[in-house]
Structure 1
Amino acid sequence: MPDPSPALSPYDAIVLVSFGGPEGPDDVLPFLRRVTAGRGIPDERLAEVGEHYALFGGVSPINAQNRSLIAAIEAELAIRGMPTRIAWGNRNFDPLLADTFTELATAGHRRLLVLTTSAYSCYSSCRQYRENLADAVAAAREATGVTLEVDKVRPYALTPGFGAGNVAAVRDAVLEARSGSAATPALLYVTHSIPTAMDATSGPGDGEGHLYSRQHLWVAEAVTEQVAGELGLPDLHGELVFCSRSGPPQQPWLEPDVNDRIEELAAEGVDTVVLAPIGFVSDHMEVVYDLDTEARATCERVGVRLVRAATVGTHPRFVGGLVDLLLERAAQARGEAPAPAAWTGEDVRPSVCAPGCCPNLRTARPALCGQD
């Protein structure tokens, strides 16, 4: 793998890091075992979850979408005169992050810049990736004797590229909804639910917490305001709902569930709902099953028309924004102080996480790219 463009120095490799997903029926159970390792979940329960994947031939769309995103980032870098190959490593399925880091170390790379496919701030969206980075560096060191140096770009939910991609998606979906109804549709912004304790501790250890939910609310408010203005719909209002709850019943998770809210809206006389999956970068399983399958079934049962907005995917503004973040982090590593791109005027996350940020509430583990 050749070194990146000099504009990305001092880094000699760029790595996209994602969650990963099965690519065939035989992969589903091993994948779910890896995702839930250490939680004592029996195979019988994992097999029930695996039925979601069976609806799609045992294939999660996430890996194919990551390949498309990598190609789009490489194309954007080439357009800017910075031809660069992007490496790829997953937390839970091939190509595994530890293997990717080991291959890079063997090939002579020493300083890596990581871009994750998670835009928000909480333990599972940020710190857990940082723990995975520490594990992968340790694995590469054991295999090769080389200690890699790793940095990552900051969480990017509140950056212009992510915002522009979501504005375009929601605008198109609202227009489609309006084509079949004179009424302004109900607009539900959807993200992955997490335990309320994880949300309460998201953000710096000395802050007010709840950064995960606050970031989503900021994005939802900003998207709604811009779309309402562009379309001349002052009565367009959005609200935040959640999907993919997976914890035990006695553990509080963020609510309301998207299906519960759809049922409530139907009872209130709403006939059209737009679902905007702002919590996700691409149409992976939480989107194609939880929204396109399960929530759609709920809408059909209660007589509500569903229009689903796209994820940012490979929207040109989103991809361009990711390249901007790579360049921003490289400039910081060179000792420069570039002005961070911000979209909503709200909290700009640092590239190096503050002490106590988004802690692991189960057990203390080493994590890279932070001050603790």
Structure 2
Amino acid sequence: MTASATIVTPTGTAAPAGSVQFQIDGDNFGPAEPVSSSGASFTGQILKGPNGLTVPGTNTLKATFTPADPTHYSASTPGSAGFTLSQEDARAYYTGALLASTGSINNTTANVTLAATIKDITAVTGDPASDQYPGDIRNAIVTFVNRDASGAVLCSAPIGLVSLSDSTVGTATCTSTPLLANTTAGGSQYTIGIVVSGYYTRNLQTDDQVINVYIPQSNFITGGGYLNNTSSAGQYPGAIGQRTNFGFNVKYNKSGTNLQGNINVIVRNNGRVYQIKGNSMTSLATLVCTANPCPTTTSASTATFNGKASIQDITDPLNPISIDGGATLQVTMTDFGSPTSDKIGITVWNKSGGLWFASNWDGTRTVEQTLAGGNLSVH
């Protein structure tokens, strides 16, 4: 925005030397600008200040003149003008569970892990709405809604950064209100919408995602192995060229009434070693192949499980350092029946918003990566 002020003097007299300080809602907008040709101006990006800016809404721009010669001239009474500040454009990408189970054959509802990556418009290459003024995506709020129920709110979440060095890309995750699973039709489908508010705006059905909630059978998954890091991301990523080891076992008890399991992931970066552990699973969803034989590279089985996880720095095993004790975990996998073809994707979100770890990040979401060693099994 460009702010400008004119120094008005009696006819025939020149404006005295001095400077003009612009303020928006009590916060300085740029430095004091010297008067030149009876005026002063400043062009800059409007950022959230200590007093805050109302977005959207009416704001007040003030200009105060301070003379260089206070002996003969007095400071001016601030001149003011109102203006409306519009929200910045954001782009939203759903990254949460697409298939979720109720967690038990006796339960008919599920609390689904919903997640999204939110980007400042400047982070979206080639978007026609892009501009040259990046903001801080943490000033946005994400609300997940049920489009099939007139936009009923499922949950809301703050946004945290994927990388602390980039304020334009963030993630948000929360657990939905209970969603009912149809007991006879293989599950129930829900259209999930993403509404971005706060200092940003986005609410388009082109971003919607359909998820399926179903009552599970006696499925189980197991696996172990390692990935060679190539594109890990988050605030605790795996270093390129180093290994991320993992092992997990998730299943229902014999009666199908309780989901049990655990996962252990070891991440290495810059001489530090981090451990991700989870033993509180909330959902296991599988799509088991039906061809004979299977699974194969052309007829695979897939699975997604969600739960809670803790993260520790275990570089010194005798003195582990806790990082987060209630992170949100999501693991997706594809079982091709061959250890050299199986793929896995591991995501750990900060419960307060942001990304702790992604095993293979494409700039928007975690993409499954082929195992460098080990095996996955979906049943």
Instruction: Give the TM-score of the pair, scaled to structure 1.
Output: 0.23
* Greater gyration radius: 2
More strand by share: 2
More helix by share: 1
Instruction: Give the TM-score of the pair, scaled to structure 2.
Output: 0.22
